[in-house]
Amino acid sequence: MSLDAYRLLRPLIFRLSPETAHNLTFKGGRIAKGIPGAMALLEGLCQAGISSRAMDACGLHFPSPIGLGAGLDKGAEVLPLWKALGFGSVEIGTVTPKPQPGNPLPRLFRLPEESLILNRMGFNSEGAEVVAQRLKRRPKGLIVGGNIGKNKVTPEEKALDDYREAYRLIAPEVDYIALNISSPNTPGLRRLQAPEALAPLLGGMMQIRKEMGLESQPILVKLAPDLDGEELDAIVDVIAASGLSGIIATNTTLDRGIVSDINRDKVLSWGDGGLSGKGLKLKAREVQRRILQRIPPHLKLVACGGIGSAEDAKAAMQDGAAWVQVYSALIFEGPFLVRRMLKGM
């Protein structure tokens, strides 16, 4: 019944622009979390019959291996909602040190027939100070990661300053930090993945972690799916030598080849942006497998990109992923997605 209800509502929801639908969902989530008993009721509906899938990774205890990827709850606005839906972890952000509006509208597009999303949000963020204050009221029993990035106006050579500034505010309020150096929607950001730029960036982040006495807090880095094999190997070697805890693979792709021929012109007409969703799965898994073949045992991989079913999650974890993250699938499959995934696992 719950699945059928969402399928009935989805055509109505998808008549709204993606960002309008997003904003209405978050408004409803903010209202619901203020109603006594609402989250408990939702939790009962979404987690009925689910046995424990708790697991440990990176020194953290996760209620389940299904996480919500960065980009949906950028400002940590409705964390109780994600907990009620059954997510074991939520990665908030990307959070920039200073507030910024992101790119002009329209900047978010859906392709429901292929379960794909194109976004060029551009790190729209309320800023680290606002988000850090909100995180002080985070719910218990949910792993929260903080995904941080640089402001658009900050030149690449000053990127470390931005990551350190965001880290100072966000890190004390979250369980782990993710460094976003792979979004295609901030000019020049992906160049930070180059080994010669990445090594000093990671070194600077490990230093501030030590300065703040947070040596036990995991830091992970999120990579793009569009790196060729040799580039990826060199980047993974730098990460492995840095002392970081893990890699999140992958971010969105610029590859329009993941779209079917019949829909490619439509997607091309939307313009710039990164693609996520079902079509990214094979490309992301190739990257994940290559990383897993190269990393030392202490370095963990978080699988992200096209994951939307129990089978996808099981395949990623059988490959060697520590946990998985979903995003686009939640938009297309609805609030009972995590329940179905956990039951299937």
User: Encoding tokens for residue 317?
Assistant: 């974890």
* Cβ partners under 8 Å of residue 209, min gap 6: 167, 171, 215, 217, 219
- Alpha-carbon span 307 to 313, nearest angstrom: 6
Q: Which segments of 136-260 does DSSP mark as H helices, in order?
A: 159-170, 195-211, 229-242
**Cβ distance 317 to 60 under 8 Å?**
no
Q: Apex CA 279: angle with CA 91 and CA 70, to 5°?
A: 10
3-state helix, strand, coil in the chain (%, to 5): 50, 15, 35
**Cβ distance 52 to 107 under 8 Å?**
no
Give buried/exposed letters for 162-187 (b at 16+ CB in 10 A, else e): bbbbbbebbbebbbbbbbbbbbbbbe
Which of 125, 183, 245, 309 is catalytic? The answer is 183
Helix (DSSP H) and strand (DSSP E) numbers for the chain: 13, 13
* Residues 274, 275, 276, 279, CA torsion sign: negative
Phi/psi of residue 274, nearest 5 degrees: -100, 140
- In one-letter notation, the amino acid at residue 38 is A
Q: Whats the size of the chain, residue-wise?
A: 345
- Alpha-carbon span 81 to 115, nearest angstrom: 23
**Cβ distance 249 to 303 under 8 Å?**
yes
**Cβ distance 39 to 32 under 8 Å?**
yes
User: Encoding tokens for residue 75?
Assistant: 């400002």
| Residue 52 appears among annotated catalytic residues | no
User: Encoding tokens for residue 247?
Assistant: 């890699």
Q: Which is it for strands 323-326 and 108-111: parallel, antiparallel or unpaired? A: unpaired
Catalytic residues: 183
